[in-house]
Chain A
């Protein structure tokens, strides 16, 4: 078993018993569900809209080379520097170089899962730069020195009291139980940072090929400020973010907001097409767009699961997943958690180390149903299981199934096994799940139906 799998099992075992965690997540997600359903019902036809989005993303991903070139050349035409980075370390070094060249001291950052993916903050802090997360949830988890709990709601696992204690300890603020007060504490702390920062780093939600623009979705205005005041702006995005046309946003912005947070559209959806242009009053004089591959092309090379690159990171599949709701976001040990994380992490970080995530699923299909771009998530989990076994077959399992097949295909042997089963049944019941049970890791948490006292054949013979 991989280290990641062992850690997953341990963390899952302890957090599923944590009633406080369970209560917090259930309350938060019930609120989300109510809001999402209200907004979904405002659509004339939700499923047709999803189908249209799936087709648009299909077009974008299956012509990715053409659209990326169009996107990059339009950006460059307006003075943006585009960097192509095949791997995480290359993206990290590129951004470190930009920051060194800018002779920056303070860096303000808005939410970017790609930055989590390449561990950007750690690298910059090691270089001696101060990096401040400006999204409220990200700001909170950064103070706690932990990764975001959820790709959309990073601090969903914390109560207001915990956040108040944290702010008291780290920022010296007075304790309060009011979310509004807590938000204002963060607002005041970050205002100074926007004004001081030399470099602003952002992520992106969509890359519009037609016009050469990046679209950033947020509610708080922190990304707007991050990209307005510092003199250098850096935007890090995965190559799969492409959309062909500007008007595609008319469909994708409502889908993202509805599926992601139960809003009609998110508070700020901002298009960036270049650094400060002649005649403009503010904005960065330099803009760097960093395009990250980091094994996305491996996923692209798998036609069966290529549609996982359609993902717009709305988090809807996490919110409805019974596994996520029980084990929580940190248990996964991955940048992207929940069903989509379980699907893509084996491609991004190695199948054998991360195959356990595809087994941690009831295959109920709630994720596939929730996905606004119709990624076939639960079948991809099955395909990961199949691929994992195909790559590294378990000889014990294979032998056990062979033996099973031989027994059930041989009537005399099968009958004999039934007789034995009936005799050892009382003993089996006692031993199940105890250390004496040879398959206790399986039976500890699962029931085996009792061996019937009478087989169907015998029952039929006796009635005739």
Chain B
């Protein structure tokens, strides 16, 4: 019997004895919330058993709002708390102007990006040398770039997060190796909460998953020294989201 079968056999043997269902163990019954008291053995539960399915659980989580205006307000508030530089502008041209100002202020010499209609236009408007990661790149060159400019799949009002992936956002390193990550986004990419975000990601990629999907929430951070917040631990010190 190989190791896989040995582990599976041990699991199956262990599971022949049923365990009490959640919320009913020992003296914790008062927390059961009144669900499932009548049920006895747990071992007979079908796979996928839930008293409350997950799409119902979202009602108990922090909320992202129900209208686009609420989503925008919630995303802006979350960004401020996370120290994400979030700017919602009226047009793509305004976003490019904002990007040029940031580049001038920070003295960017070279930026990194990937090919996409939005990023191509932004890089062209920036008028600076650019490294495109598509099809492979020397890691040292990417490390030397002052900014990484990417698109994203979806933005989440509830948490102030955005989702990048290894196929359509320039690979695994572009959004995390340069010290400044700039995300270009459209307003219709902003959804209410994580449940919506995962559904959107599945609709986009479910047929053929990229090897990496990352939910990015604010710039890189650490509190490992005396629980004092420091930005830019290993990833970007700055995260800018330009939305129009």
Contacts and interface: CB of A to CB of B under 8 A. Distances in A.
21 contacts: A39-B62, A48-B33, A51-B31, A58-B21, A58-B42, A84-B2, A134-B234, A183-B232, A187-B232, A190-B234, A213-B213, A250-B198, A251-B57, A264-B160, A266-B217, A270-B213, A276-B166, A303-B19, A304-B25, A374-B22, A374-B23
B77 to A, nearest CB: 11
Nearest to A217: B215
B215 A253 contact: yes
A421 B232 CA distance: 68
Give the interface size class of chain B: 35 or more
Interface in B168-213: 170-174, 176-177, 193-195, 197-199, 202, 209-213
A420 to B, nearest CB: 39
Given A44-B60, A153-B224, A248 B54 contact: yes
Interface stretch (A59-67, A431-439, A451-459): A59-67
A269 B215 contact: yes
B71 interface: no
Given A63-B47, A254-B194, A229 B173 contact: yes
Interface stretch (A10-18, A115-123, A293-301, A442-450): A293-301
Contacts of B228: 179
B11 A65 contact: yes
A32 B55 contact: no
Contact of B233 (A136, A246, A297): A136
Interface in A35-63: 39, 42-49, 51-59, 61-63
B166 A219 contact: no
B142 to A, nearest CB: 9
Interface string A157-199: 0111001000000000000000110111011001100110000
B217 A281 contact: no
Interface string B113-148: 010000000000000000001111101100100000
Contacts of A84: 2-4, 6-7
B26 A379 contact: yes
Contacts of B211: 78, 272-277, 280, 283
Contacts of B11: 64-65, 68, 239, 297, 300
Contact of A376 (B25, B58, B114, B134): B25
B226 interface: yes
A224 B172 contact: yes
B103 interface: no
A278 to B, nearest CB: 10
B226 A293 contact: no
A195 B140 contact: yes
A54 B27 CA distance: 16
Nearest to A221: B235
A279 B235 contact: no
A86 interface: yes
Interface in B207-241: 209-228, 230, 232-236
B13 interface: yes
A220 B19 contact: no
A270 B224 contact: no
3 shortest A-B CB distances, which residue pairs? A221-B235, A228-B172, A220-B233
B221 A62 contact: no
Contacts of A291: 7
A379 B25 contact: yes
Which of A51, A281, A301 lies at the interface centre, i.e. has the most chain B CB atoms within 10 A of its CB? A281
A114 to B, nearest CB: 15
A225 B171 CA distance: 11
Given A49-B57, A277-B210, A267 B221 contact: yes
Interface string B42-65: 110101111110111111111100
Contacts of B136: 281-282
Contacts of A62: 15, 18-19, 42-43, 45
Contact of A68 (B8, B177, B198): B8
